[in-house]
Every structure is written in C-alpha cells, then in structure tokens.
A and B are shown apart, each in its own frame.
Chain A
Amino acid sequence: MRFDQRHLLGIEPLRPEEITTILDLADRYVALGRSRDKHAQSLAGLTQINMFFENSTRTQASFELAGKRLGADVMNMAMQASSIKKGETLIDTALTLNAMHPDLLVVRHPQSGAVDLLAQKVNCAVINAGDGRHEHPTQALLDALTIRRAKGRLHRLTIAICGDVAHSRVARSNLLLLHKMENRIRLVGPATLMPAGIDDFGAEVYDDMREGLRDADVVMMLRLQKERMDGGFIPSEREYYHRYGLDADKLSHAKDDAIVMHPGPMNRGVEIDGTIADDINRSVIQDQVEMGVAVRMAAMDLLARNLRANPKTLSA
C-alpha cells in the first residue's frame, strides 16, 4: 500500500497505485458507514477546517461528515461571507488560518490554481474540493469507486463523459483518473463545450450523443451550469436537451448494463431525463453520494498518516 502525497490537490500527481490505495481503504469505510456504529478514530485529535469560497452544500456536508466519522474536530468556514469580502487576500486568509494549527484544510475556490497557491503557504495537508475549472479530485475518486463497485473493475471500460466538458473540473479530474487506470474515454458534447486542445487528451470526441454512447459501459453526465446558457455556448435549453439530454432513447445505444452517473446537483429535463435519473436499475447517482463520504474519509485518513509519519509537516 503506497500513498506518498502531502496534499491532495489533483488527480494529476497521483500514481495508479495511489489511486488504488485510496479506493481500497474507501471500500472499508463504505462498510463502516453502513454499520450501526459509524465511528473510527483515525483523525482523533486533528483539526479539519473546511474553507469554501464558493457555494456548496453537498460537497461540504460530505467532507464534514467524513471528518466527524473519523473523529476530527471539524470547522466550517463560509468564506463568501467572511473577510475575503473585506479585501483580505487569499494568502492572508491562509496565513491566518494556518496560525490556528489545523491539520487538514479542505478548500474550494472559484479560481483555477487557487488551492495550489494556498497549499504553498500552510503547514497542514490541503485537500482540493474543487478549484475553478481545474480539478475536483475527490469527485473523480468517488466516481471511480462507484464504477469499480458496480462493474467489478476499473480498467478496460468504455466510459462516455457527456456535456459541458470545457468548464468542468469534474470532467478534467475524471479524464485524468480514468486515463491513468487505462480505460477508453469518450467525450460527448457540442463543440462549444469542448476544451481547446481536446485532440491531445487521449480521448475520443463525439458531437453526436448516440454515437458517443454506443456500447458504453458507463455514461457520466455533467451538470450544465445556467450561466453557460447565457454565455452563448448553446442556443437554448430545449435544443440542448433534445441533442444532449440523456433519455431512454439515447441511453439505449449504450450497453444494456451501462450505469448512469451524475455529480449533482441535477438539472432534470436539461441534461438528464428525470425517469433515467430515478431508474434504480441504471442510475448510480445515490451510490455516488455514499461513496463520496467514504472516499473523503479514506483520503483524509491517508493524508493524516503521512502527517504523523513526517512531523516536520505537522503544524508545530
């Protein structure tokens, strides 16, 4: 079992065996979460601060629950309402928090790279809970765990990632992770929502949803953010739903046992048909939420072990 990271800033620096390490441990925490006594002591005595510079309900709740189940003291800071509004820079905020000696800092920020910047300035372990359009590593890990449990493996699968790839940190992290684990990845969506340089990503690109889903094992839908519709990326919601919304007809092109995923929150009737989302035979969307807590427990546990093994990085 190897996990050599000090922070979890993205999927990019992880080796495949480190990903497997997180997922194996997360499997055990899934079992813990389903038992009557949900407590473990891996983070006992440690302080976890959740700093969310961008609104989030589910991710923050998931991190909070993960920390509490492992015995950490968890504090939530809603940064949007705080001193950042008073003109304090990100680095000053980081230094202020650092002085409180947290052990784990969970950060979400609307700007790509902001979490990397913050990680350079603090002594604790930093977990990226989503930075701009860059990465959202725990989402990709929870998706990987969901796939592995549903499909029995995490390699040589055909996985279609559909929708707003250009603006999605979820898509980037998933692409990196699934690529490292040697899967066949398809990116499906209108060309306006595909990032530049997409041809170099090692993925197949489709603008026709039915072709893109053909014989797929996994259909991963992305959330279409409302602001993209105003930005002129797509002509209208209804045209988008017609061409890229996941409905029974489009899904019928995937394998019969293909699973449907969505990172939430969903826009029913925009990127996904409500009945598909609720179909317990196809949709693993609720499983993803459960895996999210387990994966975050595993990631924080592993980072805490490295903190303890290397006291130099512990806040003195």
Chain B
Amino acid sequence: MTSTLFTNARLIDPEGDTVTSGAILVEHGKIREILTQAAELSKLALTAANSDSVRIVDCGGKCLAPGIVDIGVKVGEPGERHKESYGTAGQAAAAGGVTTMVTRPDTNPAIDTPETLDFIRRRAADEARVNVLPMAALTKGREGREMTEIGFLMDAGAVAFTDGDHVVTDTKVLSRAMTYARSLGALVIGHPQDPGLSAGAVATSGKFASLRGLPAVSPMAERMGLDRDIALVEMTGARYHADQITAARALPALERAKANGFDVTAGTSMHHLTLNEMDLADYRTFFKVKPPLRSEEDRKALVEAVRSGLIDIIGSFHTPQDEESKRLPFEEAAAGAVGLETMLPVLLRLTHAEELSLPCLFRALSLNPAKRLGLACGRLAAGAPADLVLFDPDKPVVIDRFKLRSKSKNTPFDGARLQGKVLGTWVAGQRVYEA
C-alpha cells in the first residue's frame, strides 16, 4: 500500500472557511486524514519517517488546497486539434492546479451524440493526466431546434448540458429541453444573453466603446437573458447554472431567483473578475472575450458577489485561439482567451488586494463547482479524492505567453507581473505536475 503524507502545509479549507497549519495523509488516492494538532502531527511524522510505505511531501509552509474544478474548458477536439489537444490542455491544467477539466461541447462537430462523447472520453483518458468530465450539447448541432439524447448522453458520462454561447432562442424548444432534463435530473447550463440586443456586438456599450467605434451591447442584454432563463426554471423546475454572469445589472435577478428557492447557480470568468473594458486599449484582440469585458464598476460588483457567495463558481473559460484568428481587426478577430495555466496566479491578485480570502477563492474554484456537479472532490476532507494543488501565493512570476503549455498562446496576461506560483498538482494522490 502506498500512502503519502503532505506535511508542513497551510491548509486552505473552503468548506470550513479556514487556513490552518497542518498535514494531510493520503491513501489509495483519497484523503485519509487531516491533521492539524501538533501532537498528532509529530507522532505521525515519526511513524512515517520510520516507514517505507509512506512518502513524505514537505510542503515547506506553502498553501495546499483542493484542486480546481474548471467548468467550461474548450479543447480543440474534435475539429481544431491545432489549437488545443487533450494532451496539451491536460498539461496546462496540471500546471495551473486544475485537477478536473469540465469540457465544452462547442467543438466541430458539436458533442451532441453519445458516439462523439465517447470519442472524446477516450481521447481524454489517453492524453490527459487530470480528470476530464465532458459536457454535452443541449440541442443537436447547438442549433436550438431539437434536444439531444440527454438520457444516452448522461449514460455516456455527460455531466451537464449546454449549447455554449449559442443562446437557444426558441423558448418552446428550451422549455421542453429543460423539462426533459429535469425529469432526468440533468444540469442545464445557459448563456444568459438576449441574442437580439447582443447581435454583432464585440464590446460593452458606453463611452469607451463609442470612442473606439466598436459595435457594443448594453449589459442589460445579460439581465434580460438571465430573467428569461429564470422564468423557464420556474416553469420547468430544471436544475440551472448560468455559465457567466459578468454585469452588475444581472446580479439582482440572480439574487431574487436564489431567494425564491430555485435550483439556480451562477459562474463568472477569471477575466471579468480581473480586467475591465479599458484593457482593450488600442484594439488588443487578446482581450476580446465573450461576453465582452465590462466596466470597472461591474468588475467590483462581481468580486463582491463571489465574496458573498451570490456567484458560486469561477471558471477560466479556457478558449484556445491561434494567432491567425486573433491577428485581425477587432470586430473580425475570434473571441476567447486561454486560462487554465494562468487562472490561479491571476486570481490571486484578488487575495493580495484583500478583495477575497483564500478559502473564499477556493470555494468558487473547487468546492462549489464540485458540489454543483455532484463530485466528491473540491474539499479537504477525509474520504475525498486526493486532488490537490500546492502553491506559493507570494512568489512573483512574469507570464510569458510562449512558455504556456497550451498549443494556443492567446492570453491577455502576457508580460503581466503576478504573485503566485503553482508548485505541484496531484490527481487521486498521483503527482501530475511539479514546478
């Protein structure tokens, strides 16, 4: 039997909302025991030191937290393997402390049949060393006309159903899909956005977009999309998650839905928590994301919503794009940014600015996404899978996009000076990354 003892760690416990010094004993890929008492620790360390079967990982006083569960990762398979494969995405995830990638179905072709889902599960198993859980399309071809085989897809391992950034405009189709999903207990993930208002927009309406002459959308389009989806939740009883809430105006609607007891959760992206529309500057296409970056007031409101728990989940919305699709006039350039590898150091900006605490950050990165998908990981507790990330929150790093493990290098943080470095990542007790 092999066990591993992580000693001398600062344990980030999102469930208990605590940071404590201690150790973790891992056995058979699972957390066996959390030890925080000095007496227990010294006794155990002594036993371990005399035993051949216990490996010791000295954490050197750095932070040990449950590995990140990243909902909404785009891998280029099938269709765009030149942008990202399961191999490269898996390496990027491991280097970023992401132990579970929950992948998007907006591939080419879309993941909308059990057969394609099975294909990517095999690819993931062969290539990626972190956990990969696929999402499937809610409607065939993500076209918003007919629901997919939700039952078969669940049997094949789909953990949630979404058409990605394609909004299902036909409310009849969506209401039926949500009703059917509810009967199976499936989680439906929506992209709250009014498709009419946001058609053609690449920026958030306001002075900045107007001066730059970019087609822009009011953040109200997000509120309208969320209101519509929540009404359908009320009507159908479906389990619903909003992929990205990015506008302050949408938050009261979310708050009401939760207060009314609907099974609704919401996510937001690392980019919307750390950047604002001014970062587009002179048409920097690496900052083009979808929804577009918002105002600084929106960003602050989002951080507060994560802190209060109104927004449940933070994701990287990792979207690899090659140089060709970014080196275009802003309107024509592809949207999206890679984020698996940079997410943790980027988000640590918020803890250094004392806007969020470390346990709070990991509640949104690990605990809540795991809970939403019914996974046992995401916590530091006996019996949970030993999916762990060890990081030094204070170590200065400079992001160099050409050193990223992703095939695509489209990060808006190239050259950014950040504080925080992942030192090691473990999946089911196995080390998958070492800095």
Give me the interface of A with B, judged by CB distance under 8 Å: 12, 89-91, 109, 111-114, 116-117, 131-135, 166, 169, 172, 176, 195-198, 200-201
Q: 1/0 per residue B392-414: CB within 8 Å of A?
A: 00000000000000000000000
With A and B bound together, what is the CA distance between A112 and B202 in angstroms?
11
Q: Considering the chains assembled together, what is the distance between the CA atoms of A111 and B328 in angstroms?
A: 10
Contact of B329 among A114, A166, A176, A198 (CB under 8 A): A114
Known: A90-B329, A114-B329. A196 touches B283 (CB 8 A): no
Residues of A contacting B211 in the complex (Cβ-Cβ under 8 angstroms): 12, 172, 176
Would you give 17 A-B contacts (Cβ < 8 Å), ordered by A? A89-B324, A89-B328, A109-B329, A111-B331, A111-B332, A112-B283, A112-B330, A113-B282, A113-B330, A114-B329, A117-B327, A134-B212, A169-B213, A196-B205, A196-B216, A197-B209, A198-B207
Contacts of A112 in B (CB 8 A): 212-214, 283, 329-331
11 more CB-based (< 8 A) A-B contacts, given A112-B213, A116-B283: A12-B211, A89-B328, A91-B327, A112-B329, A113-B329, A166-B210, A176-B211, A196-B205, A196-B206, A196-B207, A201-B210
Q: Are A89 and B327 in contact (CB under 8 A)?
A: yes
C-alpha gap A255/B208 in the complex (Å):
33
Where the two chains meet, the residues of B that have a C-beta atom closer than 8 Å to any C-beta of A are 205-214, 216, 218, 282-283, 324, 327-332
Closest to B330 in A: A113
Q: How far is the CA of A132 from the CA of B211 in the complex (A)?
A: 11
Chain B residue nearest to A196 in the complex (CB): B205
Say yes or no: A113 contacts B210, CB within 8 Å.
no
On whether the beta carbons of A195 and B210 are closer than 8 Å, the reply is: yes
Decide yes or no: A196 and B213 within 8 Å by CB, A112-B330, A113-B282, A116-B282 being known contacts: no
Highest count of chain A CB atoms <10 Å: which of B206, B218, B283, B328: B283
Task: Determine the distance from Cα of A98 to Cα of B239 in the docked complex, in whole angstroms.
Answer: 56
B207 touching A197, Cβ below 8 Å: yes
Chain B residues with CB below 8 A from A197, complex form: 205-210
CB-based contact A111/B329 at 8 Å:
yes
Distance, CA A89 to CA B210, complexed state (A): 26
A50 to chain B, nearest CB (A): 19
Q: Which residues of A contact B283 (CB under 8 A)?
A: 112-113, 116-117
User: What's the Cα separation between A131 and B329 when bound, in Å?
Assistant: 10
Residues of chain B contacted by A176 (CB below 8 angstroms): 211
Interface majority SS (helix, strand, loop, mixed), chain B: loop
- Give Cα A90 to B332, complex, Å: 11
Give the complex CA separation of A89 and B334 in angstroms: 14
Cα distance, A248 to B39, chains bound together (Å): 94
Contact A90 B328 (CB under 8 A): yes
CA distance A255 to B429 in the complex (A): 81
> Residue among B206, B212, B324 with the most chain A CB within 10 A?
B212
Cα-based distance from A292 to B218 in the complex (angstroms): 37
Contacting B213 at CB < 8 Å: which of A90, A91, A133, A200?
A: A133
Cα(A43)–Cα(B208), bound, Å: 36
Q: Check if B213 sits within 8 Å of A135, measured CB to CB.
A: yes
- Closest chain B CB from A214 CB (angstroms): 25
User: Does A131 contact B208, Cβ atoms closer than 8 Å?
Assistant: no
Give the chain A neighbours of B282 by CB distance below 8 A: 113, 116
Residues of A within 8 A of B324 (CB): 89
B208: A residues at CB distance < 8 A: 197
B216 A132 Cβ-Cβ under 8 A: no
Q: How far is the CA of A172 from the CA of B205 in the complex (A)?
A: 15
Please indicate the chain B residues that have their CB under 8 angstroms from the CB of A131 in the complex. 213
- Nearest chain A residue, comparing its CB with the CB of B283: A113
B329 A117 Cβ-Cβ under 8 A: yes
B213 and A172: CB pair below 8 A? yes
Residues of B with C-beta under 8 A to A111: 329-332
Task: Select one of A132, A172, A196 contacting B218, CB under 8 A.
Answer: A196
Q: Considering only CB atoms, which chain B residue lies closest to A135 in the complex?
A: B213
B411 to chain A, nearest CB (A): 19
Closest to A200 in B: B207
- Chain A residues within 8 Å of B216, by CB: 196
Q: Which of A90, A113, A200 contacts B212 (CB 8 A)?
A: A113
